[in-house]
Structure 1
Amino acid sequence: MNNAAPEAEGSRGAFLLDSTVAGAGPRGFDALRHVWETQIGDVFRLPTFSPTTIGDLRVKGRAAKVRDVRFADVRSASALAGTPGDDHDAAVMYVVRRGTWTLDDPPDRDEHTVSAGQFRLRHFERPYAFETAPHTTTKILALPAARLSPVLGNRIITGPADSAEVRLLVAHTNMVHATIDELGPAGVHAAHSTLIELAKAVVRRRFDDTEPQLAPALAQAAKDLADGHLADPELSPAMLARQLNVSVRTLQRAFAATGESVGAYIRQRRLEEARLALTAPSRRLSVSELAAHWHFADSSHFIRAFKKQYGRTPTDYASSTRPAGG
Structure 2
Amino acid sequence: MSPVAVSSVTEWTRACSGAFVPLRVHTAASAFRASLSQVRLGPAVTVTRVVSEASTVFRDVDLIRRQPRDDVLISLHRRGRGSIRQHERTAVLGSGSAVMYDAASPYVLAFPGTMSEVVLQLPRRTLTSTGHTFAGLTAVELPDSAQLRSLTMLAASVDRPGGDEAEAIGEALVGLLRAVVRGRDDGSPAADPRLLAEGIRLWIDENAADPDLTPERVAAHFHIAVRTLQKLFAADGESPAAFIRSCRLHHSRRLLVGGATVNEAARRSGFLDIDSFTRAFKREFAQTPSSVRSTAP
Name the larger-Rg structure: 1
TM-score by length of 2: 0.49
TM-score, normalising length from structure 1?
Answer: 0.45
